[in-house]
Structure 1
Amino acid sequence: MNYIFYKYQGTGNDFVMIDNRDLHFPKNDTKLVEKLCDRRFGIGADGLILLENDPSTDFRMVYYNSDGNESSMCGNGGRCLVAFAKQLGIIDNETTFIATDGLHYATINEEGIVSLQMKDVDEVQEHGNHVFLNTGSPHHVQMVEDLHIFDVQNEGAKIRYGALYGKAGSNVNFVSQTGENTFRLRTYERGVEGETLSCGTGATAVAIAMKSTGKTDSSLIELQVEGGILEVSFVEKNGFFTHVFLKGPANFVFKGVVSVG
């Protein structure tokens, strides 16, 4: 079987995109998804995203981690899917679409900068040396020293697989402050089971966590990830975060055909 695919990346977080409006892709074939995402035996990506029809919005987002399993919301993947929808001619410069965590609104400019509205956050759990919150996916946020040499792989795995979050686990973000409203972060992503160059829901979680814990007074926060720069903005009132937007580049890399048999 041959599949036409498109490769996109958002600040180094890369995805295989497939136009599945005709439902030709075998959605329950986790081994196929895993193979396509494999960086040695497949196309190579942090995840695979299907664009499908939706009766009440412009399209539906179906997201799989690179381990082949369908997963929770992916912020950078959502931004890249908006760029993909524009390339396909489904949308122009703004859109609404449905994902696993509900309805999303987004805009895209001519330079490929996508601003994606994320879910509201009504609970930020502070636990001494870390914060936990859900921004469409669960995120552990922890401040550390010497982030540039921090062992994200091993320390992230300890938390992800530890007793703190049970069988489901959590994404894990390690953070350092670089300015009044700027932070650097590195993320261990569940499903990828390793560090990625960027995580959109993670950047969103870090921005909200830093505001909630008083590390910044700003409602517009710049996040330096390993693959570039993201911006997160929000409106906060009494610990409730609304109008949460994740903004950054979403770039087309290449298009191809992969044969699987």
Structure 2
Amino acid sequence: MHKKIPFYKYQGAGNDFILIDNRNASFDRKNEQLVKKLCDRRFGIGADGLMLLQQAENYDFEMVYYNADGAEGTMCGNGGRCIVAFARDLGIISSTTDFLAVDGPHQASIDGNQVTLGMIEVHDFRKDGEAYILNTGSPHYVQFIKGLADYDVFQEGKKIRYSGAYGDKGINVNFIEKENNGYFLRTYERGVEDETFACGTGATAAAMTVALHHNMEGDINIPIRVLGGQLYISFHKKDKAFTDVFLKGPAKFVFAGEIDEANL
């Protein structure tokens, strides 16, 4: 008897994820090879990452996030928004939630397909040349670029991600450019090892970089456009500290199905 795995597909601004309801703990969270196969776009379902929704004492649920390479990952902002929509669709929550992720507790609210996700506070940053280095739940390198629409994000991002400066684990690489009333962002994500259509923790790091670069203070809201849509980041900034950090954007159900583990 082959094991069939029920799954749900969601996307947040083009960042797509496989979601599995694992409240009964039937999915082996240590099986990284299976996760990698499920995320494969040619031989599996295909996704930028996979999430397990699990039971968590004193919280509505726990989010366990995996990169497409099968390894358990750091925080994923777009994934966080998608799992909130998933929890709502499962009837676990209604419009607000407190859930647990790898970087600690998160609060979120959902209205239709728009999710506002509370992110961790950031109290420090450093610079690498002209670039800013911040950890918004995942480590990010952010650099201003002119002519970003035509920039080779894959090759340039890959060089920085694998440069010895960031050790074996590497770093996510973001390039931003001012446009109209906000900024345009493109991201090379480690673990996916490619440019993605959106990166929530990257958009958060990019907005913070803008505030640092322009010495902005107080309550700030910065629109960040990504390849897959529009995100909004808000926070309170005082000196180097970012508090009340929120990432707002879409999270949409795409389809559901089941896959036979033996066929992978």
Normalised to the residue count of structure 1, the TM-score between the two structures is 0.97
User: How many Å separate the matches in 2 of 1:101 and 1:39?
Assistant: 28
Residue 102 (structure 1) aligns with: 104
What are the equivalent positions in structure 2 for 1:9-24 lying under 5 Å apart? Answer: 9-24=11-26
What are the equivalent positions in structure 2 for 1:94-243 lying under 5 Å apart? Answer: 94-109=96-111, 111-180=112-181, 182-214=182-214, 219-243=220-244
Distance 1:60 1:246, change over 3 A: same
Q: In structure 2, give the amino acid aligned to 1:214.
A: H
User: How many Å separate the matches in 2 of 1:155 and 1:210?
Assistant: 21
User: How many Å separate the matches in 1 of 2:226 and 2:126?
Assistant: 23
User: How many Å separate the matches in 1 of 2:180 and 2:149?
Assistant: 16
In the alignment of these two chains, the number of paired residues is 259
* Paired residue secondary structure (1:97): strand
The answer to whether the 8 A contact 1:4-1:256 is kept is yes
Shift of 1:127: 3.1
Offset from partner CA, 1:118-166 (integer Å, 9 cap, x none)? 0000002133310000000000000112111111111101000002211
User: How many Å separate the matches in 1 of 2:149 and 2:101?
Assistant: 33
User: How many Å separate the matches in 2 of 1:172 and 1:162?
Assistant: 11
* Paired residue secondary structure (1:219): strand
The answer to whether the 8 A contact 2:216-2:237 is kept is no
User: How many Å separate the matches in 2 of 1:45 and 1:127?
Assistant: 31
Residue 83 (structure 1) aligns with: 85
The answer to whether the 8 A contact 1:124-1:212 is kept is no
User: How many Å separate the matches in 2 of 1:216 and 1:121?
Assistant: 15
Distance 1:216 1:186, change over 3 A: farther
| Deviant stretches of 4+, over 4 Å | 215-218
Which structure 2 segments of 5+ residues have no match?
A: none
Residue 40 (structure 1) aligns with: 42
User: How many Å separate the matches in 1 of 2:215 and 2:200?
Assistant: 20
User: How many Å separate the matches in 2 of 1:68 and 1:249?
Assistant: 25
Offset from partner CA, 1:78-104 (integer Å, 9 cap, x none)? 000000000000000000000000010
Which structure 1 segments of 5+ residues have no match?
A: none
User: How many Å separate the matches in 1 of 2:52 and 2:191?
Assistant: 17
Shift of 1:26: 1.3
Q: In structure 2, give the amino acid aligned to 1:96.
A: D
Normalised to the residue count of structure 2, the TM-score between the two structures is 0.96
User: How many Å separate the matches in 2 of 1:248 and 1:224?
Assistant: 10
* Paired residue secondary structure (1:211): helix
